[in-house]
Amino acid sequence: MRGGEFLQKIRIGNLQRFRAVFLAGKRVVALAVLLGAAAAAQAVEPDEILPDPALEARARDISKDLRCLVCRNESIDESNAQLAKDLRVLVRERLTAGDSDAEVMEYVVDRYGEYVLLRPTASGANLLLWAAGPLMLVLAGGIGIAFVRRRSRATSREADGLSEAESTRLAEILDE
């Protein structure tokens, strides 16, 4: 079901931005259109690719964890924006210069702040973020286990599956 020729689609190249536009009202529309207009190029371009495949693969992995700062929730690896292109080139320059992955990350974060990291560091308050899932799992799992064990103990107590009232009523019926 591709759109017909009559479709007018702006190629912003960005689902997030579209959703924002669509759902958050026209103030954002104006913003997105502005951003989109600036974005003519497309993601990784052939002239950026490093000759060494191993180095290029590392560059791609790093790029996926770095945020395009003028975009919404898009990595520089996916983004069309000029700034993302600059960052991709920067990452490759650092790698070519012999930096390790961690050093490249540090270099970028020093210049752009931790906002640029799509995978937040596990430091300080962020520990809460990373621990939230496991902690909640332990808590919910504990409650779940306690509940299940309570129900199974009830099984042994009411072996016939009847409540006290039901047992009384059964006795009455049997007496009649």
Partner 1 sequence: MITELGHFALILAFLVACVQAVVPMVGAARRWPGWMAVAEPAASLQFLLTAFSFAALTWAFITSDFSLRLVVLNSHSAKPLLYKISGTWGNHEGSMLLWVLILTLFGACAAWFGGNLPPGLRARVLSVQASVAVAFFAFILFTSNPFLRVEMPPFDGQDLNPLLQDPGLAFHPPFLYLGYVGLSMAFSFAVAALIEGRVDAAWARWVRPWTLAAWVFLTIGIALGSWWAYYELGWGGFWFWDPVENASFMPWLLAAALLHSAIVVEKREALKSWTILLAILAFGFSLIGTFIVRSGVLTSVHAFANDPERGVFILLILAFFVGGALTLFSVRAQVMEARGVFGVVSRESALVLNNVLLAVACFVVFVGTIWPLLAEMFFDRKLSVGPPFFNLAFSPFMVVLGAILPVGAMLPWKRGRIARAFRPLRAAFVLALALAALAWAMQTGKSTLGPIGLFLGAWVVFGAATDLWMRTGRKGNRFGRLIRLPRADWGKAVAHSGLGITIFAVAGLTAWEQEDIRVTQLGEAFDVGAYTLVLEQVEKARGPNYLSEIGHVTASRNGRVVARLRPEKRVYPVAQMPTTEAGIDYRVFRDLYVVIGDRQGDGGWIVRTYIKPFANWIWAGSILMALGGLLSLSDRRFRVAAGARRVPGGVPAE
Where in 128-157 is the site for partner 1 (CB under 8 A)? Answer: 129-130, 132-133, 136-137, 140-141, 144, 147-149, 151-152, 154-155
Q: Give the number of other Cβ atoms within 10 Å of residue 113's Cβ.
A: 10
Handedness of CA 69, 72, 78, 82 (dihedral sign): negative
43-62 residues in contact with partner 1 (CB under 8 A) are 43-47, 49
Q: Is 18 within 8 Å of 12 (Cβ atoms)?
A: yes
Query: From the CB of residue 30, how many other CB atoms can be counted at a distance below 10 Å?
Result: 11
Residue 136 or 171: the one with the smaller Cβ distance to partner 1 is: 136
**Which CB atom, from 53 or from 98, has the smaller least distance to partner 1?**
53
Whether residue 70 contacts residue 120, with contact meaning beta carbons closer than 8 Å, is answered with no
The contact pattern for partner 1, residues 91-130, with x = CB under 8 A and - = no contact, is: ----------------------xxxxxxxx---xxx--xx
Min CB(30)–partner 1 separation in Å: 10
